[in-house]
Structure 1
Amino acid sequence: MSFRTIQSEGPLRLVVAGAGGMGGAWARNIVGSPDAELVGIADLYPEAAAKLAAATGIGGLATGTDAIELAQRTSADAIVNATIPEAHHPVTIAALSAGLPVLGEKPVAATVAEGLALAAAAEHTGQLFMVSQNRRYHPALHQAKQRLAGLGAVGIVSVDFFQSPHFGGFRDEMASPLLLDMAIHQFDMARYLLDADPVSVSCEEYNPAWSWYAGDAAANAVFAMDGGARFTFNGSWCSPGHETSWNGSWRISAERGTVLWDGENDPSAAPDEPFEPGEDHGRDIGGSLRQFIAALLDGSEPMGRVHANVMSLAMVEAATQSAAQGRRVAIDDVLDRSYAAALANERDPEVLAVLKSWPSVREALSSKRSDSE
């Protein structure tokens, strides 16, 4: 299924929804892009929008409390949704319904059920909804995947993630801070490296005695992936000393060799065979922005299109359910329950019709995959 493109001879005009930390990061990247123009900042708190607008250095930059109204007032081409996860669904639905494509912060929504509703809404409106999984946009991650091309079938992908951030605020009080707020990055990167989706997961959460988090800040998870590979995640948010990269430390074991990546520098492979460098996807949210704009202008399929991204959030929900229930959880069970919830909660008859037209959730999502790009 294609999406509507935009005919533009100049930079695309963008409104940022959400004036928090990520909203500021997006604003800076838009200002620094030759292909984009920041035309407005929206936030429920007018003073927050005004403060960020002033920080951009753009005189007279428009602000407002309603992103859609602001986009219409400024003749914006699209919205960047940098609101909190609980607001991702309502803001994105409103934008798509108003004929505005959306580039959204991860996660796609607060729940898989809401993510499925957004995928259906994007289909119905014909507008692009792309989710920015910014850690996919790292040149060394792409090089790691390219180095795997000559090593045969991949059987094991493992990542160690050990950090010790003192955030303060809501993360310190979350029930599952590591899994809910961080692990989606590594889960999504594993899907990219394997070009595969999850089948099931067994996960255990725990909290070291010295942890400053109220909830479990450490976890081990083993995912069975389609095609037979295994992905293992071993992580902690309360492990000071010899910390890994925020991308994690990776070992990818294939039929004829292994690739190692420390999460920052160029990966190494044994045997060290020649490889094709591949396309430059850019870096971090700047790469997401570049690919979103390119997709809107030429119709190319971006990595983070909503259909291709929902499964990464499903991995998070399945892992937390496995830890809570003390058993292996099938991803299809999570998808089925989420689909039932999406059907029950949807109030737009046309979006509901799209949901009902899907032969299965997995088939509907996999038909829009672009992980191999």
Structure 2
Amino acid sequence: MSPFETRPADRPLRLVQVGAGGMGRAWLKTIAGNPDVELAGVVDLDLDVARDALAALAAAGVDGVDEVVTGRSVGEVAARSGADAVVNVTVPAAHRPVNEEALFASLPVLCEKPAAPTVAEALGQAAAAQAAGQLLMISQSRRYFAALDALAAQVRELGEIGTVDCGFFKAPHFGGFREEMDHVLLVDMAIHHFDAARRLIGADPVAVYCEEHNPGWSWYRGAANASAIFEFASGARFVYAGSWCAPGEETSWNGRWRISAERGTARWDGDAAPVAHEPPAAPSTAALEPRAEETAGALAEFVDCLRTGRVPETAAAENARSLAMVEAAIASSESGERVRIDETIAASLRAALAAEERPAVRARLEAMRTGAR
């Protein structure tokens, strides 16, 4: 039996999107491109932003835009539009209030990463979803690549994993809030690579040692470079080196990967098909199976899970472990010491319990705390 309420499969799911800014516009295109869903409403604190985003959809030839309900309240727009689910594309600080309003209105949510600014808030939301009996799925959009699927399949054939290496080197000039953030690379980007490492290794992260620094030429206020070594429960190590101020010879946004395992090695440049070498055979390039990728892949999985009752790999409670990798890496960088991830999660559960007043949600958090011991 599914732990959350499912939705009918005989018609498109009606979605309300919350947030209509830059990323919101990209999500609106994703929704418009999926025949299994239809846009029922758009919520934004600035109604002109919502209207402008819908006008851009109409100008692109999307039908039915005139019937889309707009407003500033998730509950109000969902009720007026007859919504089945919510897509949350607000800023991370707004994720929790939006998600919980939707969940307790009996609406499942697909939420942009990260689930929240802290693991404690992410766990609080996961507990709220369980208490409400609704799906809260986090969109780790970079899990959804045909080449990453193929890499994971290759790695499964190589036996025990020794080391997973990921290098990420880009030089984006975003402007705005990112260039003022603390721990900018770890907080805003590295979670994608950490989450992919969890998928490839297939075990829980145990501990991390991390260092951050900011080169003299960096245009970021916070540390734009990070190096980390994660230990996993299987004994594997994940070695990460990243920079957001590395001009020249930039990697893919997915990073550049090498997996060393019992029977051979797999490599992925982050874009093309991965290559596996299992001696004495010659290296072989994987065949890619077509699939919906990035946000389109996340949306397709959300719909499938709502129709079948299958729990996604990025359900909120499970995805909190990827966010815990980020939080533990920051703690290690600040303290100069190795940090255990289960201690990060335990402290976060205590903080979530201390802040939570709703009995049903507290009960779910207590169950998580007992299970985490």
- What's the TM-score, normalizing by structure 1? 0.94
Distance 2:98 2:24 in 1: 14
Structure 2 SS opposite 1:240:
coil
Task: Give, in angstroms, the shift of residue 66 of structure 1.
Answer: 0.8
Query: Do structure 1's residue 151 and structure 2's residue 161 form an aligned pair?
Result: no
Q: What's the counterpart of residue 62 of structure 2? A: none
* 1:94-120 deviation per Cα after TM superposition (whole angstroms, max 9, x unaligned): 111000000000011111001111111
Task: Give, in angstroms, the shift of residue 74 of structure 1.
Answer: 0.2
Judge conservation of contact 2:5–2:135 (CA < 8 Å) in 1.
yes
Q: What's the counterpart of residue 220 of structure 2? A: 213
Q: What's the counterpart of residue 35 of structure 2? A: 34
Distance 1:236 1:129 in 2: 31
Number of residue pairs the alignment of both structures matches = 363
Instruction: Label 1:359 to 1:85 Cα distance change in 2 as closer, same or farther (>3 A).
Output: closer
Q: What's the counterpart of residue 72 of structure 2? A: 65
Query: Do structure 1's residue 289 and structure 2's residue 299 form an aligned pair?
Result: yes
Q: What's the counterpart of residue 369 of structure 1? A: none
Counterparts of 1:1-373 in structure 2 under 5 Å? 2-57=3-58, 58-271=65-278, 282-358=292-368, 360=370, 362=372
Which letter does structure 1 place at the counterpart of 2:51? A
Q: What's the counterpart of residue 366 of structure 1? A: none
Distance 1:280 1:127 in 2: 30
Q: Which moved more, 1:43-52 or 1:222-231?
A: 43-52
Task: Give, in angstroms, the shift of residue 6 of structure 1.
Answer: 0.9
Judge conservation of contact 2:275–2:286 (CA < 8 Å) in 1.
no
Judge conservation of contact 1:202–1:327 (CA < 8 Å) in 2.
yes
Which letter does structure 1 place at the counterpart of 2:357? R
Task: Give, in angstroms, the shift of residue 248 of structure 1.
Answer: 0.2
Judge conservation of contact 2:276–2:284 (CA < 8 Å) in 1.
no
* 1:257-302 deviation per Cα after TM superposition (whole angstroms, max 9, x unaligned): 0000000000001125889979765210000101100111111222
Which letter does structure 1 place at the counterpart of 2:152? K
Structure 2 SS opposite 1:109:
coil
Structure 2 SS opposite 1:3:
coil
Q: Which moved more, 1:74-83 or 1:294-303?
A: 294-303
Instruction: Label 1:358 to 1:278 Cα distance change in 2 as closer, same or farther (>3 A).
Output: farther
Which letter does structure 2 place at the counterpart of 1:202? Y
* 1:107-152 deviation per Cα after TM superposition (whole angstroms, max 9, x unaligned): 1111100111111111111101111100000010110010112211
Distance 1:10 1:182 in 2: 36
Task: Give, in angstroms, the shift of residue 349 of structure 1.
Answer: 1.3
Judge conservation of contact 1:164–1:238 (CA < 8 Å) in 2.
yes
* 1:5-42 deviation per Cα after TM superposition (whole angstroms, max 9, x unaligned): 11242111001001112211111011111101011110
Distance 1:329 1:91 in 2: 32
Judge conservation of contact 1:115–1:310 (CA < 8 Å) in 2.
yes
Q: What's the counterpart of residue 370 of structure 1? A: none
Distance 1:46 1:329 in 2: 44
Which letter does structure 2 place at the counterpart of 1:295? C
Which letter does structure 1 place at the counterpart of 2:338? R
* Identical aligned residues as a percent: 50
Judge conservation of contact 1:15–1:71 (CA < 8 Å) in 2.
yes
Judge conservation of contact 2:24–2:89 (CA < 8 Å) in 1.
yes
Task: Give, in angstroms, the shift of residue 360 of structure 1.
Answer: 3.2
Which letter does structure 1 place at the counterpart of 2:162? G
Structure 1 SS opposite 2:174:
coil
Structure 2 SS opposite 1:358:
helix
Distance 1:150 1:336 in 2: 34
Distance 1:289 1:60 in 2: 22
Distance 1:31 1:77 in 2: 16
Cα root mean square deviation, aligned: 1.7
* 1:332-366 deviation per Cα after TM superposition (whole angstroms, max 9, x unaligned): 11111101110010121111112123353547xxx
Task: Give, in angstroms, the shift of residue 84 of structure 1.
Answer: 0.4
Instruction: Label 1:63 to 1:88 Cα distance change in 2 as closer, same or farther (>3 A).
Output: same
Judge conservation of contact 2:17–2:41 (CA < 8 Å) in 1.
yes
Which structure 1 residue ranges, 5 or more long, are not aligned?
Answer: 364-373
Judge conservation of contact 1:187–1:315 (CA < 8 Å) in 2.
yes
* 1:175-205 deviation per Cα after TM superposition (whole angstroms, max 9, x unaligned): 2110110000000000000111110100000
Judge conservation of contact 1:6–1:296 (CA < 8 Å) in 2.
yes
Distance 2:159 2:209 in 1: 26
- What's the TM-score, normalizing by structure 2? 0.94
Distance 1:84 1:200 in 2: 29
Runs of 4+ off more than 4 Å: 272-281
